[in-house]
Amino acid sequence: MAVSRDHLSCSKRYYVNCLCLLLRSIKHSVQSYAVILLIIGQNISILEMTMENTRTIILLSLAGYLLLVKGITVINTWSFTDATKSAFDVLANSKHHPGDVNNVLDAIVAGCNRCEIDQCDHTVGYGASPDTNGETTLDAMILDGTYKQMGAVGQLRRVKAAIKVARAVLHYSAHSILVGDGALQFAKVMGFQEESLTTSFSETLFRNWQHAKCQPNYFRNVYLQNSSCPPYRPIAYDGDMQSHPAEDTASQSLVAESNHDTIGIVVLDSHGNMGAGTSSNGANHKIAGRVGDATIPGAGAYVDSKIGGAAATGDGDIMMRFLPSSQAVQHMANGFHPRVACHKALSSIGAIYPNFKGGLVCLNRFGEYAGVGYGWNFTFSVQTSEMLTPRIVIADIISVQ
């Protein structure tokens, strides 16, 4: 059947409008537009032959998108989907060559910093989890799984973008970890703005804690720990102090889904480069000076581009003693699926500390992923090349025996 030029022009405009609506709905990058338009340009004859079939142009558009982001995976602890998407978009827009890992580092920074800005669940970023002095301090780490580079900060004061300071440690120092006032001094040299991390919310948390006689807290083996605020006087060691792991209950009443400590993220780019990162404001009412597992490689996160990566959340003071992220990666190196690797790493902690609470996300170099929780409900967020938006997944749970 003959088709008039006017009708063809009108139909083309209709399909272009459909394409624009589709692109807006999935928020593509400029690069994605270019790829999709190239596909359409090369297949204009197909469009002209199938004017009645809207699905053709939609499928072409989706094909362009999937080709562009082939092999990309981002996974992070908890349902922080904005962080997932921020990291994924960086990888999808990347123009780096295969040996350049800066896109992976950019993605980790984008994901973690999104949570720092949004104050995800008040467990990441400024304005929450005050320590025993009433101050919010931050922990963060960034890991490159290809060249084994890392940077981390612990007990960082008065700088909001902890993950960016961690990356600066990686790029602008020969060290791996900076902590406390030294980390602040370094951040200022690197041009980061010094500002208070206290908000009305964190002030209220601290004030309420003081009114409750500083209960609960993380001290042990001191006089009046359960009935007053610090400072405390230590009980003289007599060989009969609390020491058995099963009795180490100082943090059990504090660690919960609303005080879980950390976004941990693992990413895989289209060239097979992997990276991992963390950001946290630590445990609520922690003893001033505490550094959490989010700063410790192998504990808060670990990654090897030849194998896979993992990131942790939960009771960091217990979990860092076992390096669960490193354990999980080693299990994947031994051929175990990410789900089994997560399970085995957490179970090794539970064998000693049966009442701890924690979670792991694991991603191998093939893009297979999983999340497992121990002792609590745990969710994670993931986006792969086959997904247009991040997906929240309920993790497998290891029940406390």
Annotated binding site for substrate: 290-293, 313-316
With CA atoms as reference, report the closest residue to 138 among 114, 116, 154, 117. 154
| Gap between the Cα atoms of 331 and 324, Å rounded | 10
Which has the closest alpha carbon to 62: 85, 35, 88? 35
Alpha carbon distances (Å) from 43 to 33, 36, 39, 54, 361 = 15, 11, 6, 14, 41
Residue 15's φ and ψ, nearest 5 degrees, are: -70, -35
Q: How many CB atoms lie within 10 A of CB 98?
A: 11
CA-closest candidate to residue 112, choices 123, 102, 127, 101:
123
Mark whether 262 is an active-site residue: yes
- Which candidate in 262, 278, 295, 384 is catalytic? 262
Q: How far apart are CA 247 and CA 36, in angstroms?
A: 60
d(CA 179, CA 185): 10
**CA distances, 283 to each of 72, 137, 351 (Å):** 32, 10, 23
Contact 18, 54 (CB under 8 A): yes
| β-strands 138-144, 149-156 pairing | antiparallel
CA 140 from chain center: how many Å? Answer: 10
Q: Which two tokens stand for residue 385?
A: 């090349």
Catalytic residues: 262
